[in-house]
Amino acid sequence: MSVSEMFAALQGALGQDQDIREEIRKVVQALEQTAREILTLLQGVHQGPGFQHIPKKCQKAREHFGTVRTQMESLKTKFPADQYYRFHEHWRFVLQRLVFLAAFVVYLESETLVTREAVAEILGIEADRERGFHLDIEDYLSGVLTLASELARLAVNSVTAGDYSRPLRISTFINELDSGFRLLNLKNDSLRKRYDGLKYDVKKIEEVVYDLSIRGLNKETAVGAGGEK
């Protein structure tokens, strides 16, 4: 094979690779748009009246995840199944965003942490790496850390809306989350840096709870809850 033939073959391989990346990019753009729509919908819970419509907003978000599953099915067909990590960077960010959104919906519904397996089911992908297009553990953890920041913001806005019990529940949840992350030996620099930000979320929520305590509002909440029982 001559030098020119060798480089012609290389150019063919490069062109094929570029075509795959372009097809992936198109689907990822659609996923990003759907993620923005879900985020816009869920941001309504931070407003005063939004607390009254949480179930309705979560239900609507679940409907949008149906679109996500369809788009994920399309994404799976755009590259060879054994080359997941070769193209992973193309969808890594949007996948982490979708993990956060799924985790936020589940928290708003049940005030629990969604499992990686449950997120994978919501997104229409696999939890097990061996089964193909899957939810990488680090992508899951990154999405959960974004949830912590969102809940810190929700704690502040809850007080503004007159909901004084929610920050206390968020505080308990975030502290449990922080304890869980402390069990991990994080090697990924990016993930480690994001985890370092969790302590600021913990501190922010503690300040909200402390302020409620100083004002005596947490006691009123506890008495009110006891009276309801």
Q: What pLDDT does 223 receive? A: 41
Binding-site residues for Mg(2+) sit at 150
For 33-67, the pLDDT digits (tens) are: 999 999 999 999 988 777 788 999 999 999 999 99
* Domain architecture of the chain: domains with CATH: 1-135 (1.20.58.190), 136-219 (1.20.58.200)
Annotated binding site: 150
* Residue 133 confidence (pLDDT): 94
> What would the pLDDT profile of 191-225 be if each residue is shown by its tens digit?
888 898 899 999 999 999 999 988 887 665 544 44
Task: Quote the tokens at residue 28.
Answer: 């990822």
pLDDT value of position 187: 79
Q: Tell me: the pLDDT tens digits for 15-34?
A: 878 889 999 999 999 999 99
Q: Taking residues 61-86, what's their average pLDDT?
A: 95
What's the pLDDT tens digit per position in 139-162? 999 999 999 999 999 999 999 888
pLDDT of residue 186: 84
- Check residue 218 and give its pLDDT: 67
Q: So what's the pLDDT on residue 219?
A: 61
> What pLDDT, on a 0 to 100 scale, did the predictor assign at position 226?
44
pTM, full prediction = 0.88
